[in-house]
Structure formats: C-alpha cells, structure tokens
C-alpha cells in the first residue's frame, strides 16, 4: 500500500479544559501561521464561536493545517465535553493518530477515558502529552502512572502501551521530551508528530473514495462536506456520486478547499491523504462516500452513538409572547431545528402532534442548551420542557443511560455529599484520599439523577467542589424518587410585582423575581419552603390609609432574588412546567396557566390512573 510521506493527519483529544486549543495556538505560532491581528482575540483562536469563548470550551471540532519541515500536518481540534462526543468519534476516523492531552495536576478524567477508548478501538497509537506543566501542583509522574493504568483497563495492545510521552505548557508555548527540562517552543512535539504518526495510506491512482466526517454550512454554497480523501483524486467542477445506505445521487464539487493555518485555501485538485472541504454537494450527509460516477465504491457507514436525553421545544404561547423576539412561529422554529439537524449529527428532531411542538434529542443537557442559547441570540422566542432521559430495552430489560461521575471535594463536606448522592441511586466505584483534607469519589450514576445535581453539589460544598462526568453506557433502570423536594410560588394574576407583596412572601420561601417586574397568571415567581405548590399574589399593593404610624413608613429591605442561568432553569423545572426563553428574558411557568384548569387536569389524571389500576387488578 502506497503512502503520502509529506502528510500527517492527527487529532487532539482530551478531557474538557486540559489545554487542547491552547497547544494548537503554540503550534500555529511556531509554524508561522499565526495571522491574528492585534485587535482580535489572542488565544484559543480556533474557538471562534462566542459561546465557546464565554464558556472556555470547544463545542465544534475544527480543522487546521501547518507546514513544518517539508511536511503538511493536518490537526483536528476536538470537543472535550462528553455531550459532544459524537464529534470525537467521527474525527478519529479521518486521522492516523491522536495526541492525548492530560492535565499534569488533574491526571486522567472521565472524558479522557471516553476519548481514549474510542482511539484504542480504532487501532490508533496515541501520543501522550502531559500539559500544564507550569502549574505549581503539577505531578507528571503520577499522571503518567494513571494514564498507563487507564490504557491497561481499556485493553490496549502492547504497541499502544508503548506510547511516546511529551511534557508541555500550552499557555507558555513550550514542549519537551524530558520531565525535568523546560523547552523553548513546541518544536519537539511537532518533530514527534512527524516521527510517531504514520504517513496516511493513500493511492491517488485508485478510484476516488472520500468519506464525509463533518458538515459545515455556507449561506452561498449550501452544505460543505469535510473529510479525508482515502484514495484517488478530485477536481474542482467534477461531477461525483454521493453513496449512502439509502442509495446514491449525483452532485458537483463546486469548490475544493484545503486548510492552512487559520484560513482555507482554494485548490483546483486534491489527492489521497488530504483533508479537504468540498462545497456544492446538495443532499450531503455525514457518513456519505464521495465516489466517481463509473466506480461507486461505498465505505462502511459511520456508527454514531444514539442520543440519551430529549426535550420538547414549543412555540411560546405565554401572555408575553412576541414582545422581545423576532422569530415566533412554528414555521420559524421548524426551519431552524431542521437546519441544525443537518450539521449537528448527534441531534434528532421529531415533529409531535399539535401545532408547533417538536421533540429534540441530544447527547446531554449541555448539547441541547447550547442550541437553545444560539437560538436566543438569533432572536427566537420559544418554550422548552424539562429534560427526559431516553430509555432503551436491552435483552428484555428496560435500561437507562448511566454516567461515570468524578467528584473532587474537601473532606469536611463528605457527609453532606454522601447524603446528596445517596438518594440518586449512585454506585460508588472508587474513593481515593488525596492528602489530608481532600477526597476523590468515583460513581456510576443514572443520567436523570444528574439533572439539577450540580447546583445542589456546589451549594453543599460552598463552591469548592469539582465535578466531571461522561457517558458510561446503558444499565438496568434504577429506582429514583422525585428529586425536587420543594414546591413553587405561582402568580395568580397579571401585574407588576410590589416590594410589599414580595416582602411578605419571603418568609415562606425564596423569590425568583424582584420588585417592579411584570408577571402573568401561571408564571413561577419563587420557591416554596414546603413541598406543595402555592398560588400567590406578588402584585398585592399596600393599602393606603390616612392614619400615620412609625412602622408603616419604614423602608422594606428585600433579600436579593435568585437569578438562574439557562442551564439552571432547565434543570430546575418539573415535568408540568416550562422555561419561556426570549432574547432578553428567561421565565419559568406552568404548562397550564390557569389554576382551576390545573386542578381539573390533575383530578382527571388521578381518575385515569385509578381506572387503569382497577383494570390491572381485574
């Protein structure tokens, strides 16, 4: 089999925030491809999306390429969060090796296990980089021992266990082959890529074969397919065949681009071994094989993990609908979700009965809330339901998705954390004491038990706890009772909230709104300290009187109300509630706004349940 000795294709994989994108910055600088202007962002330049920069995480996989010592090194930066794992799976199919980045202080984390398992299953021989060596608490020796142990647990071959190790600091821009020697730049790592990453097997004289592993969208050229040419070559303007499991269609390669630094370069022709983007291929899907018209040679379809969580997206029908957004109708909502489903492979969209109702399934809460946040910024108004896990039948048993959870806590909080995790049907896998006053706890826990857990965990540990989790697999359904122990305050009528009314309500719970805010009937305005929901009047004015007293004229002091983010709102709501989302506001509400209608519906549901139980007994 012939190879392209001048090309190296490598992906960078790691747990979230272990420094993948920062090390790519250093590589671009060494190769002279750093073309960022002084008034533009100066770090993690591949994280171009505003949400990526705000959160400090990579959400979408991105390609770049550098020229180094007569070699073209194609680098793919992958997401580190488990919810975007489907990106990692596909990207690994188009490279010949992977750089596994591990934080020198934290060591391997849940997502490290996930991405490494995928790489080993594909037969890749990873290069290990111990990053963040500039941290005061860095312990590279322990991190290497933990990595080796992880390789063993995942069934690595002898060849894979003999991995090369580099030590680096992406932030300071250096890499070294020695644990106790600081480098000057990342050249040793680039030399290591050329030495250890195998040249891609490619034969440009064979018939064309290219599998699409990522999809982008261009408003002028339509869908853009990104992938690696396995065999043959493709020319600009060539008519090709798109082959998938459903059949084949003809399309024209309008534009072919190679990656170079932070930009793309249009080329007339590309050959086997290159990673390219091709525009103008109508009807393109991830996993499609691009072939010559006369020689359809489809490759094996890509296997992508199924979604684990779903949410209902609805047209906003609250009394405040249309005040703040530009896109309000079911037509707008449907078009936007269908467009997202074209490029976001891990997402599934299903239209439900009734006008403007869609079931959107994804790989996790973050996966779906990032989509919602993007829609908010584009001017959409919508309402979303609480997340529900997707159950699956395996060998005749009802199973649910499980997560591998790691908690880093101070020993002082272990009692309250054990209590929190105990009611969530979690199984303790490992407990390690790290120093005198620090614990690392590892659990297998149902995905639905993690909904809303983060806020409670941070509150219990006074903000000092750290949690990470990744998808573990499907296991038999666990028995979990209702996790929200408190009811809510529900506004009884529309109006503006008053400080007088809120001051009286504070004694019975925590408020979600401040004085002077507009509310409507059925809107959730606070959390009750008791279990049941309570209909209240937050707009009640203070009665005027001509009698004067010293106490009546005192200013009211209100406790600051709780302001929740999008993720916190989605985690908080119960199955009979919705989050109303507009470009400027987030409001919690009941699905049925009228209190009498809610009582009637609840009574009917209880009656139907009783009837069903009677039938089962008979």
How many Cβ atoms sit within 10 Å of the Cβ of residue 299? 17
For 82, 102, 302, the CA distances from 58, given in Å and listed in that order, are 11, 16, 22
Distance CA 20, CA 57 (A): 10
Contact between residue 569 and residue 555 where contact means Cβ atoms under 8 Å apart: no
Contact between residue 75 and residue 28 where contact means Cβ atoms under 8 Å apart: no
For 97, 278, 313, the CA distances from 211, given in Å and listed in that order, are 18, 11, 33
Torsion of CA 339, 342, 344, 346, to 10 degrees: 120
Distance CA 214, CA 541 (A): 58
3 state DSSP class of 418:
helix
| Tokens at 568, concatenated | 């916190």
Give pLDDT < 50 ranges for the chain: 36-44
Q: At what angle do helices 187-196 and 20-30 cross, to 10 degrees?
A: 100
Distance CA 215, CA 90 (A): 11
Burial of 220 (0-12, 13-18, 19+ CB in 10 A): exposed
Q: Write the DSSP symbol of residue 412.
A: G
Distance CA 199, CA 182 (A): 29
Q: What angle do CA 12, 60, 580 make, to 5 degrees?
A: 145
Q: What confidence tens digit (pLDDT) does each residue in 56-84 have?
A: 666 666 788 888 888 888 888 777 666 66
In the chain, where the domains are located: 7-196, 209-291, 392-476
Q: Which H, E and C letters describe 440-478, residue by residue?
A: EEEEEEEHHHHCCHHHHHHHHCCCCCEEEEEEEEEEECC
pLDDT at 585: 92
Q: Which residues contact 71 (CB under 8 A, 6 or more apart)?
A: 6, 7, 8, 194
Which sign does the torsion angle of CA 546, 551, 557, 559 carry?
Answer: negative
Q: Report how far Cα 288 is from the mean position of its chain's Cα atoms.
A: 24
Contact between residue 381 and residue 325 where contact means Cβ atoms under 8 Å apart: yes
pLDDT at 549: 60
Q: What angle do CA 524, 559, 513 make, to 5 degrees?
A: 25
- Residue whose token pair is 């009498």: 596
pLDDT at 85: 61
Contact between residue 273 and residue 307 where contact means Cβ atoms under 8 Å apart: no
Contact between residue 61 and residue 81 where contact means Cβ atoms under 8 Å apart: no
Give 517-553 as a DSSP string: -EE-TTBEEEEESSSS-EEE-TTPPPPP-S---TGGG
For the chain, how big is the Rg over CA atoms in Å?
Answer: 28
For 404, 442, 462, 482, the CA distances from 153, given in Å and listed in that order, are 15, 15, 34, 35
pLDDT at 480: 78
CATH topology of domain 209-291: Elongation Factor Tu (Ef-tu); domain 3 (2.40.30)
Distance CA 134, CA 351 (A): 51
pLDDT at 406: 84
pLDDT at 179: 86
Q: Which residues contact 91 (CB under 8 A, 6 or more apart)?
A: 11, 61, 76, 78, 213, 214
pLDDT at 57: 66
Q: Report how far Cα 367 is from the mean position of its chain's Cα atoms.
A: 4
How many Cβ atoms sit within 10 Å of the Cβ of residue 519? 25
Predicted TM-score (pTM) of this structure: 0.78
3 state DSSP class of 575:
coil
Q: Which residues contact 174 (CB under 8 A, 6 or more apart)?
A: 26, 168, 182, 183, 184, 185, 186
3 state DSSP class of 48:
coil
State the CATH architecture for 392-476: 2-Layer Sandwich (3.30)
Q: Which residues contact 92 (CB under 8 A, 6 or more apart)?
A: 11, 13, 98, 118, 119, 122, 124
Between strands 488-491 and 388-389, the pairing is: unpaired
Q: What is the CATH number of domain 7-196?
A: 3.40.50.300
pLDDT at 605: 85
Q: Which residues pair with 239 in a beta bridge?
A: 252
Distance CA 147, CA 150 (A): 5
């Amino acid at each position: 089999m012939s190879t392209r000795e001048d090309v190296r294709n490598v992906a960078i994989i790691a747990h979230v925030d272990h420094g993948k994108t920062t090390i790519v910055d250093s590589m671009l600088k060494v190769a002279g491809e750093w073309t960022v202007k002084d008034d533009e962002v100066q770090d993690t330049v591949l994280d171009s999306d505003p949400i990526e920069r705000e959160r400090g995480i990579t959400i979408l996989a991105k390609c770049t390429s550098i020229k180094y010592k007569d070699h073209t090194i194609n680098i793919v930066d992958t997401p580190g969060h488990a919810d975007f794992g489907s990106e990692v799976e596909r990207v690994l199919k188009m490279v010949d090796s992977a750089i596994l980045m591990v934080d020198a202080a934290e060591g391997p984390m849940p997502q490290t296990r996930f991405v490494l398992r995928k790489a080993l299953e594909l037969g890749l021989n990873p290069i290990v980089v111990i990053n963040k060596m500039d941290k005061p608490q860095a312990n590279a020796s322990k991190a290497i021992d933990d990595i080796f142990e992880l390789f063993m647990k995942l069934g690595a071959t002898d060849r894979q266990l003999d991995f090369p190790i580099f030590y680096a600091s992406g932030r300071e821009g250096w890499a070294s082959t020695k644990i106790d020697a600081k480098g000057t730049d990342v050249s040793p790592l680039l030399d290591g890529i050329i030495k250890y990453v195998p040249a891609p097997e490619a034969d440009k004289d064979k018939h064309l074969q290219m599998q699409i592993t990522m999809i982008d969208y261009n408003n002028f050229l339509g869908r853009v397919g990104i992938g690696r040419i396995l065999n043959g070559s493709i020319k600009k303007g060539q008519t090709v065949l798109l082959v998938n499991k459903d059949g084949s269609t003809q399309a024209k390669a309008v534009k072919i681009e190679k990656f170079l630094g932070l930009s793309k370069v249009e080329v007339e022709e590309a050959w086997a071994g290159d990673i390219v983007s091709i525009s103008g291929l109508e009807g393109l899907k991830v996993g499609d094989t691009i072939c010559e018209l006369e020689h359809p040679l489809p490759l094996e379809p890509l296997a992508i993990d199924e979604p684990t969580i779903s949410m209902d997206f609805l047209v906003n029908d609250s009394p405040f609908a249309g005040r703040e957004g530009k896109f309000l109708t079911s037509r707008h909502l449907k078009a936007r979700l269908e467009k997202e489903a074209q490029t976001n492979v891990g997402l599934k969209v299903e239209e439900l009965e009734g006008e403007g109702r869609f079931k959107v399934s994804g790989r996790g809460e973050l996966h779906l809330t990032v989509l919602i946040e993007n829609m908010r910024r584009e001017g959409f108004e919508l309402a979303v339901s609480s997340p529900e896990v997707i159950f699956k039948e395996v060998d005749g048993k009802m199973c649910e998705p499980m997560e591998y959870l790691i908690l880093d806590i101070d020993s002082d909080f272990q009692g309250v954390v054990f209590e929190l995790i105990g009611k969530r049907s979690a199984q303790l896998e490992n407990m390690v004491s790290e120093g005198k006053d620090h614990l690392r706890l590892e659990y297998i826990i149902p995905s639905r038990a993690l909904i809303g857990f983060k806020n409670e965990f941070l509150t219990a540990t006074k903000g000092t706890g750290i949690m990470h989790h990744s998808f573990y697999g499907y296991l038999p359904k666990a028995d979990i009772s209702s996790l929200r122990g408190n009811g809510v305050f529900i506004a009884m009528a529309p109006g503006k909230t008053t400080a007088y009314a809120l001051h009286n309500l504070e004694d019975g719970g925590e408020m979600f709104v401040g004085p002077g805010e507009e509310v409507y009937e059925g809107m959730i305005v606070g959390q009750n300290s008791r279990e049941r929901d309570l209909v209240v009047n937050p707009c009640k004015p203070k009665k005027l009187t001509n009698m004067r007293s010293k106490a009546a004229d005192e200013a009211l002091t209100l406790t600051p109300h709780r302001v929740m983010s999008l993720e916190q709102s989605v985690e908080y709501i119960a199955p009979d509630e919705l989050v109303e989302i507009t470009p400027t506001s987030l409001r919690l509400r009941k699905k049925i706004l009228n209190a009498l209608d809610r009582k009637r519906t609840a009574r009917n549901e209880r009656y139907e349940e009783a009837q069903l139980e009677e039938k089962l007994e008979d």
